[in-house]
Homo-oligomer: A and B are copies of this chain.
């Protein structure tokens, strides 16, 4: 992904102009207004590439996982092996002053590379 194509420019420009946190589908539908022939596959490929380069963030990744442990805790996700570790230390997030609405729960995800994969 070294070439700076119209498709990439358009998607980048769109993502930087917007505050709506669009899905891949929404990106596709919007960008298609400018580039009627762009395909969903291309949008997925470009988003994946941007994400890998760190040009954009992805909110929610990989497949859903389930946790039967209800004690409040965070997760450390190894981006290499996808293993998830529990972090029971307190994070001092202030749940009580949010102007957008009433917070009922919060989840913290830390991404990185675990000790094993880091060797």
- Chain A contacts to B: CB under 8 angstroms: 12, 15-25, 27, 47, 50-51, 54-70, 75-76, 78-79, 84-87, 91-95, 98-115, 117-118
Taking A66-B58, A104-B79 as contacts, is the C-beta distance between A112 and B93 under 8 angstroms?
A: no
Residues of B within 8 A of A115 (CB): 99-101
Chain B nearest CB from A48 CB (Å) reads 10
Contact at A64–B68, with CB atoms within 8 Å? no
A106 near B109: Cβ-Cβ < 8 Å:
yes
* A110 contacts B106, C-beta separation under 8 Å: yes
Shortest CB distance A46–B (Å)? 10
What are 25 A-B contacts defined by CB distance under 8 Å?
A16-B68, A18-B68, A19-B86, A50-B66, A54-B70, A56-B66, A56-B70, A57-B68, A57-B107, A58-B65, A59-B67, A59-B109, A60-B61, A76-B100, A78-B101, A87-B98, A92-B92, A93-B108, A100-B114, A100-B115, A101-B113, A101-B118, A105-B112, A106-B110, A108-B108
Contact check, A70 vs B57: say whether CB atoms are below 8 A apart: yes
